[in-house]
Structure 1
Amino acid sequence: MLEDEFGREVSGVRVSLTDRCNFDCVYCHNEGLGDTRGPMDPQDDELSTDTVVRFLEVAREYGVEAVKFTGGEPMLRDDLEEIVRRAPDDMAVSMTTNGTFLPGRAEALVDAGLERVNVSQDALDADAFAELTQSGAYERVLEGVEAALDAGLAPVKLNMVVFEPTAGYVPGMVDHVAANDGLQLQLIEYMPELAGHPEWAIDIQRVHDWLEDRADHVETREMHDRKRYFVSSDAETAEAAQTAATDGGVRAGDGLGMVEIVDPVGNAEFCANCHRVRLAHDGYLKGCLNRNDDLVAIGETKAAMRDAFEKTVAERVPYYGEYLVEDDEGGWTMNEAYLDSKGDRTPYEYADE
C-alpha cells in the first residue's frame, strides 16, 4: 500500500463515473445537469467501462481495498452493473447515489457485487426536497431507499448536507433513522470553498452539541476521530441502549439509529487521516477533493496508470495543515512556501503508451 510523505496510506479510491445528474441541488459545485434522459452508454468525455476496470485493477495492485462510485449521478451510466461485476473480487464496492434509479436496478447491482450504498436525502418533506434539489423526485428517492433495503444493502446510509436551508430539518431526519431499522444518517458539513455562498455555512459544532444531548450513546471512530451518535426512538429503547453501553454492546438497529457528522472544513485532523484519492469522470486523478491544481491524467494503459497513481500519492498533502495553514487569527490561508515549491501547476499528462 502506497503512502504519501505525511504517512497517510491510500487504502481507498473514489471514482466519479459522470458529472451528469438528474438533480440540480442548490449546494452542488458542479452546476449543470448534462444529458439526463436516463441510463446510457458512457459519453465522449467520460471514462470507458474498460478504462475504469483497468484503473481499479491497478489500484488493487497497490493495496487499495475499497472503491466508492460517485458522480454526478453514477446510475446514469448503464454499464454500472458491469463495472461493479468486473471490479477486483477482493475490493469492497460501494456507491453514492440520489436513489432515483435504484428501483429496478438495486437487486442487479447487489448480484454484481455492490456491498453498500449512500443515498442523498436532505429533507423529509416533498416541497422542501424539491426546493433543495430542483426536482420532483422525492417519492422516487423513497422508493429507491426501500429497493436498496429489499436488495439486502442495509444499512442504507442517508447523506444530508447541513447548511442554512436544511439545518431545521436535522431533528426530523435524526428521528427518522432512529425509528426505521436499516437506515443510518450521515450529516455532511457544507463546504463553501467548493460551492460558494459562504453565508449558507453554519457552525457545525452546534450540531455536534445538539446530538450529544440527543444521543443515548456516543462512540468515537478511530479514523478521522469521528463520533457516532446512537439515538433511540422511544424511552424503552433508550434504557436498553444505556444497558448495552454498560456492557459494551451498543449497535444500530432495533429502534436505535446511528448518526455521524462529516466535518472537514477547517479540520486539520480530518485531512491528516484522509486515505483516499479521487478519479474524476474525465480521467484525472486528484490527491484532494478540494483542489483542481493537482490533476494527473491516468492515460489508457496500465503502465501509465501506475505512473499516475504513484505520482498522485507522492504529491498529495493535507488540505488543512499544509496546502492551507492556520493564521494568527485562527483562519486558514494559502501556504505560500508550498505554492512556491511547486511553481506553476498544470494537469500532468501521461502518454498513452
Structure 2
Amino acid sequence: MAETMISKPIPDSRYFFDRYISPNKRYAAEAMRPRIVDFELTSKCGGACTYCYASSPYFKGADMPTEQALAVIDDLAEMGVSQVQWCGGDPILHPDWQEIIGYAGEKGLANSVFVAGIVAPRVAQALADTPNIHLVGINFDTVDEEDFMLTHTLERVQGMKYKAFENLRNAGFHPSRIMPCLTLTKPAARSIERTLDFLVDEMGAGYVPMFVYHPIGEGGATELTPSLDDIRRAYAYRAEKLGQHWLRVGPTECGRFYCRSKFHVTWDGRVLPCAVLYDFEVGNVNRKPLREILESQSKQLCYDFEVTGECATCDDADVCWGCRANAYFYKG
C-alpha cells in the first residue's frame, strides 16, 4: 500500500490548494474539531539552520518517550484527527520513529514526514516501507551557496539536501510527493526565482510551501527578515510557476480553514495553536490527556475570534484571514 501511495503522482499544485479549502476543512474549522496535528517527536535536528524557531540543537536534544507518543496517537485517532504532520526537530532522529509513525498509519492516520534533508538511502527506504506515509517534506531554502551560508552553519548540509531528493526518488517516491519547504528569509529571497525554477522544473515539485521567517528561538536575528517587496516578489513568482490561485492565501500559506483545523504538539508535550506561537501554550500532555485539552481549549486552538483590520476586508477573506503568527511577531 505504501509503495502504491508514494509512487502515485499528485495531479498538480491545485490539488493542495483545494485540500486547504475543502468542505471537510471548512466543517472542521466551524465546528472547532481539528483534523490535523503537527507533531514533534524530538528536538534533535541536523539541518544546521540559524533561524530555527524551535532552537533545535545540532544532532543533540531530547525525544518524546515512545510510550507517550503512542498514547497521543491513540487520543488523536479517537478524536477524529485524520492527518499527522511529523515535524521537529527532525522526526527521523527519534530512535523509534518508524515504530511510532507506522503505528499512526495502522490507526488510519495519514502521515506526512518533514525532515531536515539528511536522508541516507536506508532511511529513504524505511520511509517508503512505513505504512500510510503520503509524502516527505525537505527543508530547502535556496540553490545559492552564498545565500545558504547566511542562514546555515555547515556548508556540507546543502549538498546533503540534493542527495536526499535522489535517495527518496530511488526508494520509490514520485517527485510530486517530495515536498521542498522553504523558509523565506532575506537571503533566501535574493535567489528565490532560481530556487523555484530548480525545485519545480528540475526536481518536479508539485508544490513549494514558503513560510515567512519569524524572529523566534535561535532565529531572533532581525536582519534575516525579508522586506515586503521581497515577500511580494517571492509569492508572485511562485504563482507564475504553480498557479495564480496561490495568491489568494499569500504568506498565510494554507488559508483560513486549514489554519483553524490543526494544532501543534511539541516534543516535550506542549499543545500550541501554531508551530511558531510558543507563547500561546494551552496545555501539556504530560499533565492532562490530549482529548481533555482540546475539549477545554478548542476556541483558542481553533482561533475562534473576529478578524479585524485589512485582512477582514480583503477580497480573499472567504479563503484567507491573514496569519496570526505574522500579526503577532510583526504587528504585536
TM beyond 0.5: yes
- Cα distance change on mapping 1:94 and 1:333 into 2, 3 Å: closer
> Percent identity over the alignment?
18
- 3-state SS of the aligned residue for 2:183? strand
Across the aligned residues of Structure 1 and Structure 2, the Cα RMSD in angstroms comes to 3.4
1:210-265 Cα offsets, whole Å, 9 max, x none, are 444x44853459xxx54xxxxxxxxxxxxxxxxxxxxxxxxxxxxxxxxxx6x139
Aligned residue in 2 for 1:171: 193
Matched residues, number = 280
- State the Cα distance separating 1:19 from its structure 2 match: 1.6
Q: Is the 8 A contact 1:13 1:64 kept in 2?
A: yes
Distance 1:144 1:275 in 2: 31
Unmatched tracts of structure 2, length 5 or more: 1-23, 314-325
Deviation of the 1:198 alpha carbon = 4.0
User: Match of 1:86, as an amino acid?
Assistant: Y
1:201 alignment partner, one of 226, 232, 257: 226
Does residue 293 (structure 1) correspond to residue 293 (structure 2)? The answer is no
Please say if 1:129 is aligned against 2:115.
no
Alignment of 1:14-163 (within 5 A): 14-33=38-57, 35-36=59-60, 45-89=62-106, 90-113=108-131, 114-135=133-154, 136-154=156-174, 155=176, 156-163=178-185
Partner Cα separation in structure 2 for residue 211 and residue 293 of structure 1: 31
2:78 and 2:271 mapped to 1: Cα distance?
16
Residues in 1 aligned to 2:66 and 2:76: alpha-carbon distance in whole angstroms: 16
Q: CA separation in 2, counterparts of 1:120 and 1:207?
A: 17
Distance 1:175 1:125 in 2: 12
Bigger radius of gyration among the two: 1
Residue in structure 2 matched with residue 243 of structure 1 by the alignment: none
1:25–1:134 contact (8 Å) kept in structure 2: yes
Comparing 149-158 and 269-278, the one that deviates more: 269-278
Kindly indicate whether the alpha-carbon contact (under 8 Å) linking 1:163 and 1:202 is maintained by their aligned counterparts in 2: no
* 1:273 Cα offset (Å): 4.1
> TM-score, normalization: structure 2?
0.72
CA–CA separation in structure 2 for the residues paired with 1:193 and 1:34: 17
Classify the secondary structure of the residue corresponding to 2:121: coil
Structure 1, unaligned runs of 5 or more: 37-42, 227-260, 335-353
Contact 1:102 1:145 in 2 (8 A): no
2:138–2:181 Cα contact (<8 Å) kept: yes
Contact 2:85 2:114 in 1 (8 A): yes
Between Structure 1 and Structure 2, the one with more strand by share is 1
Q: 1:315 maps to what in 2?
A: 300
